[in-house]
């Protein structure tokens, strides 16, 4: 079970965090010099990601690669996406493709195929369950692959639909949580969690605590820590009593750490490493105080 591998790596590193490689070309220190040369930009993006991965791979269990940043660079960007996934995998990290895919069954089968083999092969892919079970089923069944389905997102307007109350008394996001729980029933690993995880934002700790009750076997991918305004306490609100059950993402907070005063003078890779260590300590303190 891939979820067991993820949980094992979190234990080995003592670090329930994932670094988001949302590598916008503008984040490259040399961007202004090369911005007119698309090939040079693509090469710089893969070098940037590779150096950060090389630096953090011993202390961070996983990377989350946000496909949008690569898609915005066209076909060349998609090649960088593919190379980044492969480099991270070959570096021993767990790889999450953040793509929030969603479609009807026949099309979902294509997406599942895209992320389970070939250029975009990943351990986990994020999905959106608005289309219900037949859009999710194609992603299930291979115990070496997992998904994280959106439940309660970290953004300010996530609640416009997700927080509305249904006639049955549940909020829409809770109903989604029930669906996600059901999708994961067949793939619970030795660690007690399922290959079907949930995205639960760090910015809504109250809901995260409640979702932990509702989905006891569902592992949480927690966005919203750091740049999006969520603190460590909120980020681990949905963790279980043993301090597990989730992994917290930080993207710009790590890969753009070199721009922060705190890490001034460091290379981007060294700054990313230092920021990852700081994040690990921040999360550990929050878990200890839970």
CA atoms within 13 A on the CB side of 235: 27
Nearer Cβ to its own copies, position 114 or 266? 114
**At its nearest, how many Å lie between its own copies and the CB of residue 174?**
11
Opening angle at CA 193, ends 135 and 166, nearest 5? 50
Alpha carbon 1 to its chain's center: 18
Rounded CA gap, 148 and 226, in Å?
Answer: 20
Active site residues: 100
The residue range among 1-9, 102-110, 184-192, 236-244 that interacts with its own copies, by the rule CB under 8 A, is 102-110
Residue 39 binds to its own copies (criterion: CB under 8 A): no
Are 266 and 255 in contact, with CB atoms under 8 Å apart?
no
Instruction: Indicate which single residue of 27, 48, 120, 220 sits in contact with its own copies (rule: CB under 8 A).
Output: 120
Give bridge partners of residue 95 from the DSSP assignment. Answer: 63
Residue nearer to its own copies on the CB measure, 113 or 267? 113
Could you say which of 14, 132, 141, 229 contacts its own copies (CB under 8 A)?
132
Coil, strand or helix at 29: coil
Cα angle vertex 100, ends 102, 162, to 5°? 85
103 is a contact residue toward its own copies (CB under 8 A): yes
Q: How far apart are CA 122 and CA 47, in angstroms?
A: 20
129 binds its own copies (CB under 8 A): yes
Which member of 197, 223, 226, 246 binds its own copies (CB under 8 A)? Answer: 223
Q: From CA 75, how far away is CA 81, in angstroms rounded?
A: 10
Closest CB to its own copies among residues 59, 172: 172
* Distance from C-alpha of 199 to C-alpha of 153, rounded to nearest angstrom: 7
Residue choice 101, 145, 181, 280 for contact with its own copies (CB under 8 A): 101
CA dihedral 81, 86, 87, 93 (to 10 degrees): 110
Q: Please say which residue, 55 or 83, places its beta carbon nearer to its own copies.
A: 83
When asked if residue 214 is in the footprint of its own copies (CB under 8 A), the reply is no
How far is the C-alpha of 35 from the C-alpha of 41, rounded, in Å?
A: 6
Q: How far is the CB of 287 from its own copies (least distance, A)?
A: 25
Calpha distance 285→283 (Å, rounded): 5
Residue closest to 260 by CA, chosen among 270, 271, 245, 250: 271
75 binds its own copies per the rule CB under 8 A: yes
The residues in 169-188 that bind its own copies, with binding defined as CB under 8 A, are: 172, 175-176, 179
Q: Does position 26 bind its own copies by CB under 8 A?
A: no
Q: Of 138 and 244, which CB lies nearer to its own copies in the complex structure?
A: 138
Residue 104 binding its own copies, by CB under 8 A:
yes
40 binds its own copies (CB under 8 A): no
Alpha-carbon span 15 to 30, nearest angstrom: 31
Measured from the CB atom, the residue of 10 and 215 that comes closer to its own copies is: 215
Residues that bind its own copies (CB under 8 A): 22, 24, 66, 68-69, 71-75, 78-79, 82, 100-108, 110-111, 113-114, 118-120, 128-135, 150, 153-162, 164-168, 172, 175-176, 179, 223, 228
């Amino acid at each position: 079970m891939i979820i067991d591998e993820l949980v094992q790596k979190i234990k080995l590193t003592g670090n329930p965090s994932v670094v988001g490689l949302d590598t916008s070309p503008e984040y490259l220190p040399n961007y202004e010099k090369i911005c007119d040369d698309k090939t040079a930009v693509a090469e710089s993006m893969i070098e940037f990601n590779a150096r950060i991965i090389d630096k953090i791979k011993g202390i961070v269990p996983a990377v989350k690669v946000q496909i949008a940043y690569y898609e915005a660079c066209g076909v060349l960007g998609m090649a960088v996406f593919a190379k980044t996934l492969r480099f991270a995998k070959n570096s021993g990290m767990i790889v999450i493709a953040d793509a929030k895919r969603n479609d009807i069954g026949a099309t979902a089968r294509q997406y599942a195929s895209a992320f389970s083999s070939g250029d975009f092969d990943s351990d986990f892919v994020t999905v959106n369950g608005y289309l219900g079970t037949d859009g999710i089923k194609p992603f299930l069944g291979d115990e070496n692959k997992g998904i994280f389905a959106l439940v309660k997102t970290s953004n300010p307007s996530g609640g416009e639909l997700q927080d509305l109350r249904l006639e049955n008394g549940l909020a829409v996001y809770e109903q989604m949580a029930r669906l996600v729980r059901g999708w994961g029933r067949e793939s619970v690993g030795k660690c007690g969690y399922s290959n079907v995880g949930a995205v639960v934002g760090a910015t809504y700790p109250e809901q995260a605590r409640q979702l932990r009750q509702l989905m006891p076997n569902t592992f949480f991918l927690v966005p919203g820590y750091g740049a999006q305004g969520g603190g460590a306490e909120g980020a681990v609100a949905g963790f279980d009593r043993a301090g597990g059950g989730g992994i917290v993402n930080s993207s710009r907070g790590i890969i753009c750490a070199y721009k922060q005063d705190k890490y001034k003078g460091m290379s981007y890779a060294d700054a990313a490493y230092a920021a990852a260590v700081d994040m690990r300590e921040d999360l550990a303190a929050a878990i200890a105080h839970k």
